Structure 1
Amino acid sequence: MPLHHALPRLLRDPMAALVDFGNRYSGEIVRLNLGTLRPYLVTHPDHLVQILRDTNSYIRDGESLLWRPIRRAVGDAILVTEGALWESSRETLQPLFTAKRVETLVDRMAGAIGEAVDAFDEPARTGEPVDVAALMSQIVCRATTRVLFGRKISVEDALQINVGLETITTTMIPRLLAPRVPYNIRMPGDRAFHDAVRRIDEVILPIIRKARREPDDGDDIIAALCRPRQDGTDPGEAQIRGDVVAMFSTATETTIAVLSWLWPVLEAHPEVAARLYAEVDRVVGSGPVDRASLAELRYSRMVLDELLRLWPAGWMIPRTAVREQVLGGVRLEAGATILVSPYVTQRMEAFWERPEAFDPERFSPDRPKRQYRYSYFPFGGGPHQCIGQYLFLLEAPIIMATLLSRFRFRLGKAADLRPRLGASLKPRANQLTLVPRDRSPIP
């Protein structure tokens, strides 16, 4: 893809451009000429499975141009490292996210979510508009601090961290778009980036230092990361800090980002909203969401899967070829940058019927199995698949059902389904008015 075709389109609308490039070449590997950077866009599931599973040949290179902005925020954290550092952090955290353990957290999670939703009874009663991002952040941060961080981080501090992370994900965009600009040259957003990192550290570091001075046997993320590792090594403060920030980010940002799309989608698709409301009313009614409810919220899960297809939180997964490779008949040189994007593959006409349409029915259990396993991979794949996937798939339906069992809503302005570019994809800023279910004219 020559420079005069690729670069202007990517600068104008990078998401639409990447999808168009994938569709134009029907899953063939495309090299994008961006001047000094010439990455390979890989979209076909047969190629993706090789890249994501072979972590010896295709790595997350923290020194590569597309990973460096992330590494500035989290250091040598589980999100960006490979080898012994990654294995140490993964082995430490994995027991906290097994399906068996996460299922024991359902009642605790539902209680925290219910308490967070209680705070919106008053604005619903008075008709005061609520910011979508603030609504989702309040709910997710309360649940996250309760079930993953053992209340070591207060809800207020969690919200402050979340604001800092939002600033970081926004201000790193200029660096991602101009990856070869040296860091000693000031760019727009740099000052806000450093201020946000400092504010996060002012919250996180005292908590880590206390946990290291006064270790406990808690089953939360901070307690686990502050213990000596299985190989007997004692991780330093910087390593723990990076992993805590990375895990907080993934535990909150993914859920906030994906569920923020629920409101404009239901506004734009009233037939989906009606069916979703009917299921929640039938399964949950006016009672709390419990473990038994989750198995019955089948259409809710289909809606959630379709949200993940169209707006995966981790929309770009860069990789670096360690050595020369041949992939799909194309020779990739050692050190080549490879762009893997769930957003692109999950919207391609070669793998999905009417890919731009919001259609939860494509995830109905009655539908035939998809031809390609990696045509849908919103949590990544291979050894680096998102560690919190199972937690998200329990937490998100609880949040949806709790909100929809108590409120109907009106958006402040017309639904806009164009994503706002950032480290994760979110809808354009919007407000909604919550209406108590028993007072709403909406059935």
Structure 2
Amino acid sequence: MTDSTIPARRAPHVATLRRTLPGLLRDPLGTLVGLADASPGQIVQLNLGTIRPYLVAEPAHVQHVLRDNAANYTRAGDSMMWKSVKKLAGDGILSEGPHWEASRRRLQPHFTAKRIDAAVDDLSRAISDAVDELAVPARDGVPVDAASEISRIICKAVIRVFFGDKIPVADGVRVVAEQDTVATALRFRLLTPFMPDAVPMPGDRAFRRAVQNIDDILLPLVRAERARDDGGDDIVASLARARDAQGHKLDEQRVRDDLVSMFATTTETTYVVLTWLFPLLEQLPDVAARLYEEIDRVVGPGEVISREQLGELRYTRMVLDELVRAYPSGWLVPRTAIADDVIGGTQIKAGGTIVLSPYVTQRLARFWDRPAVFDPERFAPGAPKRAHRYAYYPFGGGAHQCIGQYLFQLEAPLIVATLLSRFRYRLCTPGMPTPQLAASLRPKERVPLLLTPHRQPALA
């Protein structure tokens, strides 16, 4: 299948190693954005020596890979990060083919809009309880780590709502920390995808230890649930009693793979993305003031946010939409071409590596006005419609679009509004942290916060 919109064949723009290496080492994200901006309508081939991946940034080309001819572009096999992801998550919803399809069918019912909407009250209550625990360090003037506290709040919420309180919150926080280790350990393999697994690389040992630690926490839970089979409707219970296409109960490994994938899906994006919010707001006092005003107006002191209040947090929603434009967690989406194809007139050979990047596409100057500026007004209800559907795809696209997207859209504003209705903060280390290129885009430095109580509930 070929892209018929541009019938003429054209060579890709080739970014040579000599010209791009200094920039990729100094500022890899900025360099990739610059290459794509300088090549409108073109595929950019990155000459990295032994490998020459194609950077696909044009929205129409992204759509071709993720939707129009998605069957030709696989994330299975040994392309870039997927072989490492498989070592963590196995053959489940983060894989490809029949195993992925089966996992998606098993897990999708837990993430329908109807089911998540029904869980809003429970999510909000759990988030409120978790945020209340910050009153002690706020009172005592003890700094807290933004990423650690956001991960704890998320764990308390998703464990209660999706995992039936079957995972202790402390264990959930440990799993998130190990996921963080996995994501950062993968960066060495991401930078050298041509390196065989047999060749030791920095990060390999930390990766293996983190996967083992995750198994040590979750496998006993899987075994206990398979033995108990209590008929619950949480994710753990439904996986324990799930059947394969032949009617047999899933084996322990398959249940484990799906459970690991689901824990990552329900925690990773929200925790990573929200960590960027705190330093951003300190840089943008006008945005912060408008966000605080809306939250204070909608949410009373100490209140558990209701569904109705959540619907009124319109500017909060705009801030979060802009946040995942500027700092998408899934910044890198590699694919491998199964057969020859043509994208935008450029011949793609079978076996070629395709690199999609929401970060790059969402900062293209020809699709976004002042793309480096953080501007929530882009997502105002009356804002002009985007020029192309795939100019903005922070949660991926096509059949593999993130199953947890709708959860993020409810969970993230609940966390932000609950936290900022009760506390104000200042950064212990002013300034924006450096982006770290890992399996997901995260701040390289820690973001410690000093919280102060904002409002107290009125006495009865």
TM beyond 0.5: yes
Matched, 1:256 2:271: yes
Matched, 1:350 2:358: no
In the alignment, which residue of structure 2 is the partner of 1:377?
393
Are the equivalent residues in 2 in contact too, given 1:227–1:234 (CA < 8 A)? yes
2:348 to 332, 353, 357: 332
CA offset digits 1:39-60 (Å, max 9, x no partner): 1000111111111113311111
Post-superposition shift, 1:181? 2.0
Matched, 1:57 2:72: yes
One-letter code aligned to 1:327 = I
What are the within-5 Å matches in structure 2 for residues 198-209 of structure 1? 198-209=212-223
In the alignment, which residue of structure 2 is the partner of 1:282?
297
What are the within-5 Å matches in structure 2 for residues 17-416 of structure 1? 17-53=31-67, 54-79=69-94, 81-229=95-243, 231=245, 232-286=247-301, 287-416=303-432
Report runs of 4+ in structure 1 exceeding 6 Å deviation: none
Give TM-score, length-normalised by structure 2: 0.93
Secondary structure of the corresponding residue to residue 455 of structure 2: helix
| CA distance, structure 1, for counterparts of residue 21 and residue 257 of structure 2 | 33
Are the equivalent residues in 2 in contact too, given 1:88–1:229 (CA < 8 A)? no
One-letter code aligned to 1:421 = L
Secondary structure of the corresponding residue to residue 261 of structure 1: helix
| CA distance, structure 2, for counterparts of residue 176 and residue 395 of structure 1 | 30
Post-superposition shift, 1:230? 6.1
One-letter code aligned to 2:436 = R
Are the equivalent residues in 1 in contact too, given 2:300–2:421 (CA < 8 A)? yes
Post-superposition shift, 1:63? 2.4
Post-superposition shift, 1:219? 2.0
221-230 or 426-435, which deviates more:
221-230
CA offset digits 1:106-134 (Å, max 9, x no partner): 01101110111111001111111111111
Are the equivalent residues in 1 in contact too, given 2:421–2:455 (CA < 8 A)? no
Secondary structure of the corresponding residue to residue 420 of structure 1: strand
Are the equivalent residues in 2 in contact too, given 1:92–1:229 (CA < 8 A)? no
Matched, 1:433 2:450: yes
| CA distance, structure 1, for counterparts of residue 266 and residue 32 of structure 2 | 27
Post-superposition shift, 1:216? 2.8
Post-superposition shift, 1:184? 2.2
137-146 or 349-358, which deviates more:
137-146
One-letter code aligned to 1:44 = E
One-letter code aligned to 1:188 = P
Post-superposition shift, 1:387? 0.6
One-letter code aligned to 1:55 = A
412-421 or 41-50, which deviates more:
412-421
Are the equivalent residues in 2 in contact too, given 1:164–1:197 (CA < 8 A)? yes
Secondary structure of the corresponding residue to residue 89 of structure 1: helix
| CA distance, structure 2, for counterparts of residue 337 and residue 217 of structure 1 | 44
63-72 or 193-202, which deviates more:
63-72
Please provide the CA RMSD for this pair: 1.4
| CA distance, structure 1, for counterparts of residue 187 and residue 80 of structure 2 | 12
| CA distance, structure 2, for counterparts of residue 295 and residue 341 of structure 1 | 31
Pair 408,27 (structure 1): closer, same or farther in 2 beyond 3 Å: farther
Q: Specify every segment of 5 or more residues in structure 2 that has no aligned partner in the other structure, as ranges.
A: 1-14
| CA distance, structure 2, for counterparts of residue 415 and residue 425 of structure 1 | 18
> Alignment length, in residue pairs?
438
Give TM-score, length-normalised by structure 1: 0.96
Are the equivalent residues in 2 in contact too, given 1:97–1:388 (CA < 8 A)? yes
Post-superposition shift, 1:75? 1.6
Secondary structure of the corresponding residue to residue 342 of structure 2: strand
